[in-house]
Amino acid sequence: MSASSGSAGPLDFWVRAWAFRRVPIEGIASLRKAPASGHTFPVSLLKNADEQTVVVLAALMEAVDRLGAPLEAYRDWGVLGAPRFIGRDCIGQAIPEYTREGPWSVSPHIIPHRSLHSTSGTITLALGSGGPNHGVGGGPDAETEGLLAALAMLGERPVPGVWLTLSQVTPLTRCDSSLGRPPDGSQVEALVLALTREGPGLALQLDSTLPIGQGAGLACDLDSVLNLLQQGGSLPLARVGMLRAA
């Protein structure tokens, strides 16, 4: 789809750049040490990070490189992380251990690195950002909630742009408390969007004229957002309306 330029309407925003990464769970260990070519981060940044956060940072640095500006240009941007079930396997292991052995059996790194706000916080540290950051959703509607939160932040907060990260582990399998991580054969996926209120870029328009409830049950997931970016068209946001690529 060709890029456009201009200013957005009240329910529009622009995708200035985006990047998608899919990494097998077996490749996470090496990615922790070197998430992005040409960029150096402290080893401690990703040492205890959730697998989704690791892949998100790799995808985000691809998007940064496509934009071409130095990291300092994004110091005031907001960061929104919308993962699906982040920390699920690690916490699934920690809870039984806590029950059996008490608090000393649980790593202090679980809360800062395996909870909803962990991804956005880590990205903020990587970028040296001073803008607002928080996690959104966390469950099966994380993509819808992330897109709406990004639109709200762009409309209501004095930020020049928003980094929106969508991530998941696929396939979603039964949690194995003895493993503490996604099983072998899993894939970790991350889609990162650089969003602003003005172009150039791909314009996305939120059509909220549908009656409340008409969109209920319609799917919005990471794959459908990726397809919207690649192919155009429209995307249903349950109970809200349609997101269209203009």
Chain segment 154-184, per-residue pLDDT in tens: 988 789 999 999 999 999 888 777 777 888 9
Confidence tier at 115 by pLDDT (50, 70, 90):
very high
For 180-223, write each residue's pLDDT tens digit: 788 899 999 999 999 999 888 998 888 766 544 444 444 578 99
What pLDDT score does 198 carry? 86
- What DSSP element (H or E) covers 192? strand 187-196
For residue 70, cis peptide bond before it (omega within 30 degrees of 0): no
Closest CA to 22 of 227, 189, 171: 189
Confidence tier at 101 by pLDDT (50, 70, 90):
confident
What pLDDT score does 11 carry? 60
Other beta carbons less than 10 A from residue 124's beta carbon:
22
Question: Residue 159: how many CA atoms within 13 Å on its side-chain side?
Answer: 26
Closest CA to 76 of 155, 158, 144: 158
- Adjacency order of strands within the sheet including 187-196: 133-135, 78-83, 162-170, 187-196, 12-24, 202-207, 241-245, 234-237
- Collapsing DSSP to helix, strand or coil, 89 comes out as helix
For residue 171, cis peptide bond before it (omega within 30 degrees of 0): yes
- What DSSP element (H or E) covers 63? helix 51-67
The better pLDDT of the pair 150, 208 is held by 150
What pLDDT score does 186 carry? 95
Q: What is the mean pLDDT of residues 100-116?
A: 85
Please state which of the ranges 75-89, 146-160, 232-246 shows the lowest mean pLDDT. Answer: 232-246
Q: What is the mean pLDDT of residues 105-129?
A: 91
Confidence tier at 104 by pLDDT (50, 70, 90):
confident
The answer to whether the CB of 58 falls within 8 A of the CB of 227 is no
For residue 140, cis peptide bond before it (omega within 30 degrees of 0): no
For residue 182, cis peptide bond before it (omega within 30 degrees of 0): no
The answer, as to whether pTM is greater than 0.75, is: yes
- Collapsing DSSP to helix, strand or coil, 73 comes out as helix
Distance CA 206, CA 209 (A): 9
For 40-74, write each residue's pLDDT tens digit: 999 899 999 999 999 999 999 999 999 999 999 99
What pLDDT score does 217 carry? 42
| pLDDT of 10 above 60 | no
What pLDDT score does 109 carry? 82
Residues counted in the chain: 246
